[in-house]
Amino acid sequence: MSFGQGGPQSQWDPWKPQSQQPSQQPWNSGPADNTPDWAALAEASEARAKRRRLLFVGGGALATVAIAGAVAVAVVSANGSGQASDGPSSQLPATADIPSASATAPSFAPTSAPPPLDPKDFVSSAEKDKAPLSPDLLFPGTQLTMSGTVYKKGPTADTRTCGSAAQKTLPKVLTDNGCTRMMRVTYTRGDVAVTVGVAVFDTEAQAAGAKRQADKKSIIRSLSGGGVKSFCTGAVCRSTTNSYGRYAYFTVAGHTDGKDVTEKATEVFKAGDDLAEFAFRQIRQRGEAQASAAAEG
């Protein structure tokens, strides 16, 4: 193809980067004067831009349709029948197939542990209190320590005639409440001596009655001998009375030199309290030992 009078020219394609644009001349003009036709160039550039926009819009629409089609195919392929699936929840068993907590929880028959044995029960009546009993069992050894103070053990005595081991109003109290036995032991520290007397009854009620009926003149008879001088036979002494279970226990404390006990004699008061506390502990321990043996048996 030729344009005007020029020789053979290669066709210009705007989409081929190596093609060249022919010179544009009027059909009846003379030879080319090498001046570019700016109007023709502008029209060609606008045509190229318009064509590119059409291609981009068309390509984007085709890509969107292709992606949507791929997603639809994937959903249909995953579900088989083409219906939507619940994923992992569709694989759970029905409600009736799931075991409930109430159906599988183990049940146990109600049980209750037996109440612990009360040690006091074993020293509250002669029927249960069957363990061996003597002054040396209640007050063992040759000395005892209470609150850091050491007391030496002196003479002991044991009698079935309770009134003979008491004085003033105490013999009647013991007899009226059915005392069956009186055990005594004396402890000393320096010139202070204390006699502890433990009266035995058949029941707790009898021992409590003796404690309740005793007054300031109900005094255990002091026990001397075996190196312990006589005390509390005419001088003023300090006495205590108490009970635990079927036992009533008494103390009388004073000076071995015959002096009266005054409120300032703190060592006498302390000795009497220490020995009363020791008597209580020994009686309670007697009950604990028998309760433990009964529980193990």
pLDDT of residue 217: 96
Which of 91 and 173 is assigned the larger pLDDT?
Answer: 173
What's the pLDDT tens digit per position in 198-215?
A: 999 999 999 999 999 999
What's the pLDDT tens digit per position in 13-26?
A: 544 454 444 444 44
CA-to-CA dists, residue 259 to 8, 79, 155, 215, 254, angstroms:
162, 114, 21, 23, 8
pLDDT of residue 3: 42
Could you give the residue ranges of the DSSP H alpha helices within 80-214?
101-104, 135-138, 170-176, 204-213
Return d(Cα 210, Cα 204) in angstroms, integer: 10
Return d(Cα 209, Cα 177) in angstroms, integer: 7
pLDDT band at 162 (very low <50, low <70, confident <90, very high): very high
87-96, 176-185, 231-240: range with lowest mean pLDDT: 87-96
Question: Who's near 142: CB < 8 A, 6+ residues apart?
Answer: 152, 153
pLDDT of residue 70: 47
DSSP 128: T
Residue percentage of the chain with pLDDT more than 70: 62
Is the pLDDT score of 38 beyond 80?
Answer: no
pLDDT of residue 148: 93
Is the pLDDT score of 62 beyond 50?
Answer: no
Query: Average pLDDT, stretch 176-196?
Result: 98
Pairing of strands 166-168, 218-220: antiparallel
What's the pLDDT tens digit per position in 115-137?
A: 789 999 999 999 999 999 999 99
Return d(Cα 176, Cα 212) in angstroms, integer: 12
- Residue 249 has φ and ψ, to the nearest 5°, of -130, 145
Question: Who's near 13: CB < 8 A, 6+ residues apart?
Answer: 19
Summary mean pLDDT of the chain: 79
Query: Average pLDDT, stretch 237-251?
Result: 98
Is the pLDDT score of 51 beyond 60?
Answer: yes
pLDDT of residue 9: 44
Q: Decide: 275 and 283 in contact? Cβ < 8 Å.
A: no
Query: Average pLDDT, stretch 134-160?
Result: 97
pLDDT of residue 297: 75
Query: Average pLDDT, stretch 255-281?
Result: 97
Is the pLDDT score of 234 beyond 80?
Answer: yes
Is the pLDDT score of 296 beyond 50?
Answer: yes
Is the pLDDT score of 232 beyond 80?
Answer: yes
pLDDT of residue 116: 82
94-98, 152-156, 284-288: range with lowest mean pLDDT: 94-98
Return d(Cα 217, Cα 118) in angstroms, integer: 34
pLDDT band at 66 (very low <50, low <70, confident <90, very high): very low
